[in-house]
Amino acid sequence: ALEKHYYKSYHINLSVEQRDRYLQQQLPAAAICHMESKLPTLFLLLALVVCSASHHHDPSVVGYSKEDLALPSRLVALFTSWSGNHSKIYTSPKEKAKRYGIFKQNLMHIAETNRKNGSYWLGLNQFADIAHEEFRTNYLGLKQELSRTGAQSHPPPTFRYANAANLPSAVDWRYKGAVTPVKNQGKCESLAGSCWAFSTVAAVEGINQIVTGKLVSLSEQELMDCDTTFEDGCGGGIMDFAFAYIMGSQGIRTEEDYPYLMEEGYCKEKEPHASVVTINGYEDVPANSEISFLKALAHQPISVGIAAGTRDFQFYKGGVFDGACSAELDHAVTAVGYGSSYGQDYITMKNSWGKKWGEQGYVRIKRGTGTPEGVCGVYTMASYPVKNATPWG
């Protein structure tokens, strides 16, 4: 009975295997919730009830059985709960009805995908009332068609980690203090998106902490406003150009000094004594090489292009993602670690869609598939900033 209650109350058609993986990830920090996954399933279910009662009221994880999905009253209740949780306000009854229709379609896709018992699962998030094409238009801002060498007066030097050996079996730069909290790019002026700026900034924040010991949140808005030679602000860009801008402008300002506005603005001149973080260069990871990717990631967070324009990625909630990908790179994230779970090797990526998306704002992408480009093309366009140790940091 307890298992049935869990199945109906906490997920949209999750299998037993998916449920157990979800439990392992979602149990909070209490001692009982740090027990190993080898404990009996019933104990873990009891732990969830004791430790995770707050999840019951979170529409991103609350679900219904297949039969419940056919009941209009339950669907309306879920939509009402979800829209309240995400502070959705609609301009008219007609707009609300339109969004409810889209919500139902997305919900059915989520339920159908979760019934497949894959290594990942989907859930309701802030995008649940958005049609897929609308999502692609407004939240994916990587411009792959731009040449990565266009912003370079000289090609990057040889891949510095080529001879790296004895790589650790797992790396997580979050636990090493080199990753700032997950940020939210939002809907940037109804254009392609600012993901490229967030990916760039996260990589620079990481190497700056590794070299100086100081974790400083940096300004995506400065890149949006000032890096305009090759980039297009809310219209999209790529990370190499942004690294080149930071080099050429003697650093990038902090988030506190130049906060994010979710729109393009006028470039503010740097004050003479403005607090900035500098880099000395950037390098590309050799394309289509998983081992090169891991060598770089073992030493620092790296910016990554990804083919994320699918409904599965739009509603990713947890697990190791190996689902459908778009035809080309269209989004930018930051790789912050790699590891293994339940026999699945993965790369941990920091996204910029807020903490209500994915695993508290992160996605784990499957690795070790044998394809040169990797799942969703993550090995085809990766790069990282270079920062030398200096007396002034």
The pLDDT of residue 18: 52
* CB contact at 8 A, 336 and 363: no
Is 51 noted as a catalytic residue in this protein? no
Classify the C-alpha dihedral 309-182-107-92 as positive or negative.
negative
215 pLDDT more than 60: yes
**Domains of the chain and any CATH numbers:** 2-119 (no CATH), 139-386 (3.90.70.10)
21 pLDDT more than 90: no
Which position has the higher pLDDT, 166 or 41? Answer: 166
The pLDDT of residue 1: 34
Rg (CA), the chain: 21
223 pLDDT more than 80: yes
**How far separated are the first and last CA of the chain, in Å rounded?**
59
Exactly one of 138, 226, 331, 376 is catalytic; which is it? 331
Is 5 noted as a catalytic residue in this protein? no
Which position has the higher pLDDT, 323 or 263? Answer: 323
Which position has the higher pLDDT, 295 or 188? Answer: 295
* CB contact at 8 A, 360 and 182: yes
| 253 three-class SS | strand
The pLDDT of residue 156: 60
Contacts of 224 (CB under 8 A, 6+ apart): 188, 194, 197, 233, 234, 260, 261, 263, 264, 265
Average pLDDT for 222-246: 86
Exactly one of 195, 226, 234, 325 is catalytic; which is it? 195
Q: What is the DSSP letter of 162?
A: T
26 pLDDT more than 70: no
The pLDDT of residue 34: 34
117 pLDDT more than 90: no
Token readout for 270 is: 């740097």
71-75, 167-171, 293-297: least confidently modelled range: 71-75
Residue 192 pLDDT grade (very low, low, confident, very high; cuts 50, 70, 90)? low
Of 163, 196, 214, 167, residue with least CA distance to 387: 214
Is 331 noted as a catalytic residue in this protein? yes
45 pLDDT more than 50: no
* CB contact at 8 A, 206 and 178: yes
The pLDDT of residue 61: 44
The pLDDT of residue 113: 92
